[in-house]
A and B are shown apart, each in its own frame.
Chain A
């Protein structure tokens, strides 16, 4: 995947450490892995937390439990077909690799469901602790003003949007906590597609979005 040198909004160390330690839900793992595929800065930070995991592993020892069985492991290796060692091709598609298993190769083939005012979404299949969805925001359109009960991460895949805090382009990730109430607006010149992940339902300010919310699962 070609690197976007212009990424300005990154994941926090806390999220990267939780990812490295294996403490995130599937939906959050997905958005972290997708951002890292686009961002070497965060890949390096994640790798440093992996190094900490490696240092912990190095210090471990068994306390009387039987040692792992080498013969059985060799038998396991020989029972499997030898690995394909051709290096993976350098990808240059718009959809980062971790996302392909969830949405397919092409963002233009996603099956969208209208949410209102031209905004569309597609909910991805992940474990139930958190929700992941793709959001399609037509050029110049605003997503209804909303706040957050938990944490919402939004990663731009195509186009760009602005809200009260800043401007977000492809590869940028916005981290919204309880304190942020925002109205994201897609840039005027092109439609915007984002991957959004939440661990709790959003809080909409308007009456209509609040009524629709249970139906839309957002």
Chain B
């Protein structure tokens, strides 16, 4: 895991706050929650501008997530680059009716982390790819985007003690038995949405 990348000198930019990196983006900046249009451009056109915008938003978050999870800085940078390269390479597998872009990137980041830190493969459920000619229903995509926003707002509104407990679980500071599932968050509505999307997908597959 000590690959060297050509021309990997950093541009030296660093972000003082979560918001600052959003401001340097171009006019095509989507609302914070909806990056599905960028994913489509990356998937269909291999659009490097769209990728660069998505990178500027998500790559610092991915790296911060990895650092908080106890990854060494050099490895965190390496894993971040690999995770974002995976976003490009697997853009065709992203299904916006079942996950937000942030959620999908979270799963890629988590899997990279397990690969790199534990040096073991993580068994993943069978992929349910949607057919290339079947574009998802836009209203389903919007509904998923809205549910994700609600979840994010609810997370921000949680008492800090409860929020810390959730963060600890996801950053790897709690063992499996210490994890508390009473999150106080509206996960049930997201689950119902995903369940419907899966039913439609199953219907299309048969």
A residues near B (Cβ < 8 Å) are 1, 3, 12-15, 17-18, 20-24, 26, 28-30, 32-34, 36-37, 40-41, 43-77, 80, 82-83, 85, 87-88, 90-91, 96-98, 101-102, 127
CB within 8 Å for A17 and B62 given contacts A37-B125, A47-B99:
no
Q: How far is the CB of B57 from chain A (nearest CB, A)?
A: 9
Is B100 located at the chain interface by the 8 A CB criterion?
Answer: yes
Q: Quick check: A67 and B104 within 8 Å, CB to CB?
A: no
Closest chain-B Cβ to A30's Cβ sits at a distance in Å of 4
- Interface pair A56/B155, CB less than 8 Å apart: yes
A23/B169 in contact, CB under 8 A: yes
Contacts of A36 in B (CB 8 A): 125
Instruction: Flag if A48 contacts B194 (CB, 8 Å).
Output: yes
Besides A72-B8, A72-B81, 7 other A-B contacts (C-beta < 8 A): A22-B172, A37-B125, A53-B107, A54-B148, A59-B152, A66-B10, A77-B85
**Does the CB pair B127–A50 fall under 8 Å?**
no
Residue of A nearest to B173 (CB): A23
Whether B99 contacts A76 by the Cβ 8 Å rule is no
| Chain A residues in 8 Å Cβ range of B64 | 60-63, 65
Nearest CB on B from A63, distance (A): 8
- Of A58, A64, A77, the most chain B CB neighbours within 10 A belong to A58
Q: How far is the CB of A44 from chain B (nearest CB, A)?
A: 4
A83 to B43, CA, bound (A): 11
**How distant is A86 from chain B, measured CB to nearest CB, in Å?**
9
The answer, among B58, B89, B100, B156, for a CB contact under 8 Å with A59, is: B156
B122 touches A40 (CB 8 A): no
B110-152 toward A: CB 8 Å interface, digit per residue (1/0)?
1101100010111111110111100000000000000110011
In contact, B127 and A88 (Cβ under 8 angstroms): yes
Q: How far is the CA of A62 from the CA of B85 in the complex (A)?
A: 20
Interface centre among B15, B81, B105, B192 (most CB of A within 10 A): B81
- Give the CA-CA distance A32 to B125 in the complex, in Å: 8
* Residue in A47, A54, A82, A98 whose CB lies within 8 Å of B124: A98
Interface residues of B in 23-52 (CB under 8 A from A): 32, 48, 51-52
In the bound complex, residues from chain B placing their C-beta under 8 Å from that of A62 are 14-15, 60, 63-64, 67
- Evaluate contact between A54 and B106: CB separation under 8 angstroms: yes
* Inter-subunit contact B52/A70 (CB<8 Å): yes
Of all chain B residues, the one with the shortest Cβ separation from A13 is B181
Choose one: B12, B60, B110; the contact of A22 (CB below 8 Å).
B110
Q: Which parts of B142-196 form the interface with A (CB within 8 Å)?
A: 147-148, 151-152, 155-156, 166-167, 169-170, 172, 174-176, 179, 181, 183, 185, 187-188, 190-192, 194-195
Please measure, in the bound complex, the distance between the C-alpha atom of A62 and the C-alpha atom of B21, giving whole angstroms: 10
Measured in the bound complex, the distance between the Cα atoms of B192 and A71 in whole Å is 40
Does B205 lie within 8 Å of A90, measured CB to CB? yes
Are A1 and B62 touching (Cβ within 8 A)?
A: no
- A70 lies within 8 A of B102 (CB): no
Residue in A33, A48, A60 whose CB lies within 8 Å of B187? A48
A14-B179, A29-B122, A44-B191 as given contacts; A56 in contact with B59, CB under 8 Å:
no
B123 touches A29 (CB 8 A): yes
Chain A residues whose CB sits within 8 angstroms of the CB of B166 once the complex forms: 52, 56
Do residues B148 and A51 form an inter-chain contact, with CB atoms below 8 A? yes
CB pair A76 B172 closer than 8 Å? no
* Residues of A with C-beta under 8 A to B13: 66-67
Q: How far is the CB of B125 from chain A (nearest CB, A)?
A: 4
Interfacial chain A residues near B103, Cβ < 8 Å:
47, 50-51, 53-55
When chains A and B are docked, how far (Å) is the Cα of A194 from the Cα of B77?
41
CB-based contact B183/A52 at 8 Å: yes
